[in-house]
Chain A
Amino acid sequence: MTELGVGSLPLGDPAFNYQEHELNERLKRLYPAVNEEETPLPRSWSPKDKYSYIGLSQNNLRVHYKGHGKNHKDAASVRATHPIPAACGIYYFEVKIVSKGRDGYMGIGLSAQGVNMNRLPGWDKHSYGYHGDDGHSFCSSGTGQPYGPTFTTGDVIGCCVNLINNTCFYTKNGISLGVAFTDLPPNLYPTVGLQTPGEIVDANFGQQPFVFDIEDYMSEWRAKIHGMIARFPIGERLGEWQAVLQNMVSSYLVHHGYCATATAFARATETMIQEDQTSIKNRQRIQKLVLAGRVGEAIEATQQLYPGLLERNPNLLFMLKCRQFVEMVNGTDSEVRCLTIRSPKSQDSYPGSPCLSPHHGASNTHLHTGGSDSPTCSNGVTPPNKSKSHSSSGSIKYPSASSSASSSSSSSPSSINYSESNSSDSTKSQPHSANSTQETSDSEMEIEAEHYTNGVVEGSSARIMNGTYKHEEILQPDDNSIGNGVTDEVCSHSRQLCGGNQAATERMIQFGRELQALNEQLCQEYGKNTTHKKMLQDAFSLLAYSDPWNCPVGQQLDPTQRESLCSALNSAILASADASARSGHGVCSAHGPSPVWFLLLRQSRQLFALAQVQVIVK
């Protein structure tokens, strides 16, 4: 929060301190769900994100025009320091027209980052504005629509963004003018634009009481959402909630292979699991292989356990093979990994990545122990016995979400190491007790549970299907791409193609040829497939760069790319093994209580802002 303070200000100014205090209080009251450490609220105009014709003063709240103002080419805009956080639910700011200047060509509105500042808000894509000279609204277009009255010196114009239905309305002197824009994109910045000399406007981001009663508007939406939840039709399922919820939980656990937890859950709730335990464990094992990047083994295991499955799903097989090729480049697939086992660098790279979730870490390190059957290469950093001591403490004190989130350094969090050793138990059935497996799965689940109670569920439904939640992603959705940031550079230094091993590279080239042949064969059988072609092209492109991790197609190497494939394979197995196994899972997809779930999943943040739905989630 401190970073938001405007640097140029004398800190001792009591008037400013008072205003700052009032601002903090008001923002806290208006947007209780916003965590400003993650998503700071706009508090002033940005001295960096403005056109040169714009001058700022009075703590960067006053905007004046200092260009020539000859024509529209002299228009100039300024954006606020931060975009509007989604967790606001409903966001509001006001602008007072101090002077309309020569012609009063003023625009008030919103724009996305990067939109040209040599323009008035509303003229360009991802830019929206309400203009004072004609009262028109401009929705990413040079021509306006009749919207409201004109505005001039002395008027106070407010702009409200409703992030629940993605609309925007303006107010003039405290009176709502009605909806101006719909289908707004996320992450818009408050923006003003001026065009003629003498134009001066003052912003109020909460420094002063608003003229419009925004809290009243917010209370209406709060009541609406509460009402929607209260009136949600339950119909015939009245009283069956427990069964529905139990079924959902159980099928989720089964689907993702949390065998021990599912069994425990079934025991506690006195329900039945449709799929037998071995089958669940098999699927879990295959999933873990894929997630670890050991796709070759995963294919092998699938062919062995579910004969004919991949033959019936040639597309899936092709996707798997493609991935296998990528993993060879990565140096993670067992076919190349066994050749590069002595290279500690390649092993360092994984735990070192800040983007690895504990879950990934688990499967990843499991690969080292299980794949090579060699205790020395179980972990490049931490000796195995030490990791076990970690694990015992980890299983007792389940790590909280935040602590595991922060532990992204190479010293793996206890939960990772713990599950790692257990995963190897479950897959390779080494002499470790079965109940330890159970404990592991439970501890993993516990982490998952933390995510839920956090209430910050990542929006994409694919993720929810995967069940692989990454702490980093959840807390900082913007930083989840592996392809940027300092940490990545560090990693890239230690990475080499196929782990830098010559034999491995040759094996990879050989595999590439086989893959090419498979593609041709599929083309003959099923006709051309552009998706396949693109996939193959992208995979082969990796070889064209000296540093594949840092190239335009380098994203493929990101371990998170394994998730969708893993999910596809899991679903295919479930579908073929027992169609009914999926039916339970269908509770939430087929005839689930859609509106509430839909809202929960898609708009959780906005809803939390207003309804505190966490209570219901619990």
Chain B
Amino acid sequence: IRSPRETPPMVGEVTATSRHYVDRLFDPDPQKVLQGVIDMKNAVIGNNKQKANLIVLGAVPRLLYLLQQSSSSMELRTECAVVLGSLAMGTENNIKSLVDCHIIPALLQGLLSPDLVFIEACLRCLRTVFISPVTPVQLLYTDPTVIPHLMSLLSNSLRTQEYITQIFSHCLSLFRLIDLCIFTPCDHMTFDTQYSVTLHTSSSVLQVRMQALKCFSVLAYENTQVSMTLVNVLVDGELLTQVFVKMMQRDQPIEMQLTAAKCLTYMCRASAIRTDDSCIVLKTLPCLVRMCSKEHLLEERVEGAETLAYLMEPDVELQRIASTTDHLVAMLADYFKYPSSVSAITDIKRLDHDLKHAHELRQAAFKLYASLGSNDEEIRKKITETENMMDRIVSGLSESSIKVRLAAVRCLHSLSRSVQQLRTSFHDHAVWKPLMKLLQNAPDEVLVMASSTLCNLLLEFSPSKEPILESGVMELLCSLTQSDSPALRVNGIWALMNMAFQADQKVKVEIVRCLGTEQLFRLLSDPDTNVLMKTLGLLRNLLSQRAHIDQVMSSHGKQIMQAVTLILEAEHSIEVKEQTLCILVNIADGNTAKDLIMTNDDMLQKIKYYMGHSNVKLQLAATFCVSNLIWNEEDGSQERQDKLREMGFVDILHKLTQSSEPNLSDRAKTALQQYLA
């Protein structure tokens, strides 16, 4: 199915060619008919006029006829549905004409076909028709079996899910869905006063309930509006959430427990339910933990672990609770034992099954570990102490499945937030090696996680910092800063910032050389604030010890001062300005570098301005800068003191000594003491 704007609109003898297309639909040779329909499809795409013409010329009834004929080939029927879908994409009038030709019952009939491609084409057309305001919603209910059938198609493919969800969200109020989900047990259920559905067997009752429940989970996922609506729904005086809680009871079918838990998880993540609500803490979370246990099917364990990881991702309290529930951390270790050695020998079928799910299991476990360990140090410790955990991550980083690699690096990233783990297990297992390998030619999503982890490994106290530096990571990081993805640029510059922290002069020079001043200053005007902040951080780290400050400033002083001026003059957040002033503080700490400020009256005026700023942080930074400039015991301190006195800095310092902020008044007093000495 192509997008509607591919071919240019046709001009000229439109009506004549249109007639030709219609005529070809009546050819006795089925092959020619098929070719005719395909040509028609190509002709109408994006051409509203052509569409209108074809409708006027009576193409629709013929197309519908062909679509319904069981003697037509599947290919022909599918193409007919595609053309009809294309026609529906036009104006509202087109849709009216289609509906008048009874396209809806014909297409709904088509959904009964076993052919997925055909079903998808029919659904696509139905979707377009139903989401139009000119189509009466009731047409969906002409046949009572339609809704249950649509729900059963929901999970057939991503496309069917998309189309059906769209149809439902337009035509089926949530309340109708709730009807299906909760009241299906009744043999005779009512959608509407006129339309009713009779279900024959109990298994189909369960199926319909399940489909409706799945529908909820699809609708609620990352959808605050739907989630908020669902939370407030009362069913027979009972909150819908409580109905979901009942569906999670342990004697319910596993599939139902799992799907109900998913619904509540999505509603919670969409901020419709608080994370400390008892239905999350005491019901949803324990239910999902249970799903991870060995007694369940591999598919259920994968889904349970992924949902649980998603549920607790943003909430440390849920992470803490999960980490103590039913030995979850230890339970997950079992996810890595597939295919088991037993299954390999005894049962080929089982081995096949295990193999198929082994990747999924591993990635789900990594995801869950990542989520569990993302905040709490104690949980991280517990995870790394799980049997062979670090080895598993290391081998996960180089697995063939990209999903596993991604999940493994996420897990590693989560654990890398721990100072203790960086110092111990990360070093012991030389995780930087596979990580560096992973960074080569990885897709962006892996690269983001891997580089983010690398940032942590490059922290000053990490024993892995040295070997990583030696492995020549610099080029890679510098190239990341040129990426289109802001996340990658941040990670690149962040890693460089960490690398420059308290680094040797040699490393600093190498960073500047490799990154290039041009790129450095380009990053200072990056639209992404995070990138800007980290670049300023990198500058601060480069300008740390006195000798380094003078050296860097002597070669790049002019550009740096220029960049600082630009940032201070532009609209930026307090944090950015503070970082920038901190750079000036460092520059003022240099021997020769000081002059770059002292000789720049404009800059001095700016410093003065920030000393009187309403924000204490900025005042403090500016005062620090002055204090550095007038520091005694340094060459030329007298002249600088005099100049600043003339400019009125002393008065401001006196004023600041009265500040209610102790840090600021102390700093001002220290500065004034320089004058007294």
Contact = CB atoms under 8 A, between A and B. Distances in A.
Interface of A: 148-149, 172, 174-179, 213, 216-217, 219-220, 222-223
8 smallest beta-carbon distances between A and B, as pairs: A220-B250, A178-B327, A223-B251, A178-B326, A219-B251, A149-B324, A174-B282, A216-B250
B234 interface: no
B250 A223 contact: yes
30 contacts: A148-B324, A172-B324, A174-B281, A174-B282, A175-B281, A175-B285, A175-B286, A175-B321, A175-B324, A177-B324, A177-B325, A177-B326, A177-B327, A178-B325, A178-B326, A178-B327, A178-B331, A179-B327, A213-B282, A213-B283, A216-B249, A217-B250, A219-B249, A219-B250, A219-B251, A220-B250, A220-B251, A222-B251, A223-B250, A223-B251
Interface string B260-292: 000000000000000000000111011000000
Contacts of B326: 176-178
Contacts, number: 37
B509 to A, nearest CB: 50
A179 B321 CA distance: 16
Contacts of A178: 325-327, 331
A223 B281 CA distance: 24
Interface in B364-378: none
Contacts of A174: 281-282
Given A174-B281, A175-B282, A176-B286, 10 more contacts: A175-B324, A175-B325, A177-B325, A179-B327, A216-B250, A217-B250, A219-B249, A219-B251, A220-B250, A222-B251
A321 B325 CA distance: 62
A499 to B, nearest CB: 62
Contacts of B286: 175-176
Nearest to B330: A178
B278 to A, nearest CB: 8
Q: Is the contact region of chain A dominated by helix, strand, or loop, or is it mixed?
A: mixed
A175 B324 CA distance: 8
B418 to A, nearest CB: 19
Contacts of B325: 175-178
A149 to B, nearest CB: 5
A312 B102 CA distance: 95
Interface in B277-325: 281-283, 285-286, 321, 324-325
A176 B324 CA distance: 8
Contacts of B321: 175
Most chain-A Cβ atoms within 10 A of its Cβ — which of B281, B283, B285, B286? Answer: B286
Interface string B321-364: 10011110001000000000000000000000000000000000
A49 to B, nearest CB: 32
A175 B331 CA distance: 16
Nearest to A177: B324
A177 B321 CA distance: 10
A172 B322 CA distance: 12
A134 to B, nearest CB: 14
Most chain-B Cβ atoms within 10 A of its Cβ — which of A149, A177, A178, A223? Answer: A178
Nearest to B327: A178
Nearest to A223: B251
Nearest to A219: B251
A213 B285 CA distance: 13
Interface in B6-23: none
Most chain-A Cβ atoms within 10 A of its Cβ — which of B250, B281, B321? Answer: B250
B50 to A, nearest CB: 61
Interface in B553-601: none
A216 B324 CA distance: 20
Contacts of A223: 250-251
Nearest to B320: A149
Nearest to A221: B250
A110 B583 CA distance: 65
Contacts of B250: 216-217, 219-220, 223
Contacts of A175: 281-282, 285-286, 321, 324-325
A108 to B, nearest CB: 16
A177 B324 CA distance: 6
A230 B331 CA distance: 29
Nearest to B328: A178
Contacts of B283: 213
A176 B281 CA distance: 11
B33 to A, nearest CB: 54
Contacts of A179: 327
A174 B282 CA distance: 7
A83 to B, nearest CB: 27
A482 to B, nearest CB: 45
A246 to B, nearest CB: 34
B160 to A, nearest CB: 33
A190 B324 CA distance: 23
A220 B325 CA distance: 17
Contacts of A216: 249-250
A192 to B, nearest CB: 21
B675 to A, nearest CB: 57
A228 to B, nearest CB: 13
B281 to A, nearest CB: 8
A390 B281 CA distance: 67
Contacts of A149: 324
Contacts of B324: 148-149, 172, 175, 177
Nearest to A226: B251
A479 B285 CA distance: 47
A216 B327 CA distance: 19
B178 to A, nearest CB: 23
Contacts of B282: 174-175, 213
B243 to A, nearest CB: 15
Nearest to B324: A149
Nearest to A179: B327
Nearest to A217: B250
A187 to B, nearest CB: 27
B632 to A, nearest CB: 55
Interface string B233-270: 00000000000000001110000000000000000000
A545 B251 CA distance: 61
B289 to A, nearest CB: 8
Nearest to B382: A146
Contacts of A220: 250-251
Nearest to A211: B282
A217 B251 CA distance: 9
Interface in B77-136: none
A170 B326 CA distance: 9
B204 to A, nearest CB: 20
A512 to B, nearest CB: 60
A179 B286 CA distance: 14
A445 B268 CA distance: 63
A238 to B, nearest CB: 22
Contacts of A213: 282-283
B258 to A, nearest CB: 14
A129 B326 CA distance: 17
Contacts of B327: 177-179
A350 B324 CA distance: 61
A231 B250 CA distance: 18
Most chain-A Cβ atoms within 10 A of its Cβ — which of B282, B283, B324, B325? Answer: B324
